[in-house]
């Protein structure tokens, strides 16, 4: 992050937290927003419920921005063999339909509204390479 290059006033505003998104951590509570950028696909599917609770039930920021690869777009990558994930550590990759289904259920369960956005150049059939859900707390 090169925090040492920042002016002192700016550096004071940055706080790094080393922890896990699988367990409740009170240090994550009270923030205006959370960004889970290219994170969820690295979690084992049985651990998703714990992640959901930590982020949406316990930390419960007013806004959550979550991005994940769009599996529909993988066919556009010429060097990616069919059926393979983009990164060897990915546990899964969701299609647009799967992501929207999961995100909508999570939003409903924890009192959020969610809107979906595409990131990157959109293909008519495959969509964009990355998909984003922006969750807003409605409770």
Summarised one tens digit per residue, pLDDT across range 44-67 is: 999 999 999 999 999 999 999 999
pTM: 0.91
| Structural domains of the chain sorted by starting position, each given as residue range(s) with its CATH number in brackets | 19-137 (3.40.50.150)
Predicted confidence at residue 70, as pLDDT, reads 97
In terms of DSSP H, where are the helices of the chain? 8-11, 48-52, 96-110
CA 122 to chain centre: 19
- CA–CA gap between residue 120 and residue 39 (Å, rounded): 18
What is residue 43's DSSP assignment? S
For the cut 90, the answer to whether the pLDDT of residue 114 exceeds it is yes
User: Average pLDDT in the 85-97 region?
Assistant: 95
Predicted confidence at residue 82, as pLDDT, reads 85
In the block, tokens 């990759």 appear at 93
- CA–CA gap between residue 130 and residue 99 (Å, rounded): 11
Per-residue pLDDT tens digits for 2-56: 889 999 999 998 888 999 999 999 999 999 999 999 999 999 999 999 999 999 9
**Nearest CA among 60, 63, 65 for reference residue 116:** 65
Helix (H, G, I), strand (E, B) or coil at 128: coil
End-to-end CA distance of the chain: 35
Percent of the chain past pLDDT 70, that is, above it, reads: 100
Give the range with max mean pLDDT: 16-25, 70-79, 99-108: 99-108
């Amino acid at each position: 992050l090169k925090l040492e290059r920042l002016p002192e006033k700016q550096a004071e505003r940055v706080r790094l937290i080393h922890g896990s998104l699988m367990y409740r951590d009170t240090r994550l509570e009270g923030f205006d927003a959370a960004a889970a950028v290219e994170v969820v696909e690295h979690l084992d599917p049985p651990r998703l419920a714990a992640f959901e609770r930590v982020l949406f039930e316990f930390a419960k920021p007013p806004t959550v921005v979550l991005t994940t690869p769009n599996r529909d777009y993988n066919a556009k990558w010429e060097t990616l063999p069919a059926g393979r994930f983009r990164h060897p550590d990915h546990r899964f990759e969701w299609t647009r339909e799967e992501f929207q289904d999961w995100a909508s259920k999570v939003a409903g369960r924890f009192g959020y509204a969610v809107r979906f956005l595409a990131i990157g150049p959109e293909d008519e059939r495959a969509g964009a390479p990355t998909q984003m859900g922006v969750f807003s707390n409605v409770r």
